[in-house]
């Protein structure tokens, strides 16, 4: 199972989502591949935001090996599941997808709040990293529950 987490900058939300899902699959003994990317190229090559690093660290997750990269069209072939943090990420990804690829693209919070198309709030300007962590932790648990037989 190959999962890609996508937000705008790939420095706040999707790096946390990547770190959380990696930890959860490791705890379950699953061999999934998990990565993250941003729809913008604004922070390419940068470490995650210091506030994301600190929040992850509080829960025993080290995300300092991550570097921001931009989402690319080939990701739509590489990954089985492409999870958008918010509706603008979702729409930006879908613009690059053909109809078959589009079926792999989902709003991450639809795993916890089905069909509501809720967005993970962007914490870059307003803070709220703890809230983002909790939302993503619950959603990642549901993702693993939905794909129990994927190695």
Q: List, by residue number, the catalytic residues.
A: 7, 13, 122
91 binds ligand 4NP (CB under 6 A): no
Among 4, 13, 18, 51, interactor with ligand 4NP by CB under 6 A: 13
Among 3, 4, 5, 10, interactor with ligand 4NP by CB under 6 A: 10
44 binds ligand 4NP (CB under 6 A): no
Least distance in angstroms from the C-beta of 63 to ligand 4NP: 12
- Whichever of 7 and 25 has its CB closer to ligand 4NP, that residue is 7
Least distance in angstroms from the C-beta of 130 to ligand 4NP: 14
- How far apart CA 76 and CA 63 sit, in angstroms, is 24
């Amino acid at each position: 199972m190959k999962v890609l987490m996508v937000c705008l900058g790939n420095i706040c939300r999707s790096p946390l989502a990547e770190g959380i899902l990696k930890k959860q699959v490791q705890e379950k003994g699953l061999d999934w591949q998990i990565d993250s990317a941003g729809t913008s190229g604004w922070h390419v090559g940068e470490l995650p935001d210091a506030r994301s690093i600190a929040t992850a660290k509080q829960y025993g997750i080290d995300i300092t090996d991550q570097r921001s990269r931009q989402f690319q069209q080939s990701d739509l072939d590489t990954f089985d599941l492409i999870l958008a943090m918010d509706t603008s990420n979702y729409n930006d990804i879908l613009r690059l997808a053909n109809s078959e690829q589009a079926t792999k693209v989902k709003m991450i919070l639809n795993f916890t709040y089905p069909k509501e198309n809720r967005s993970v709030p962007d914490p870059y300007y307003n803070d709220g990293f703890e809230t983002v962590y909790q939302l993503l932790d619950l959603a990642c648990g549901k993702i693993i529950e939905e794909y129990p037989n994927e190695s």
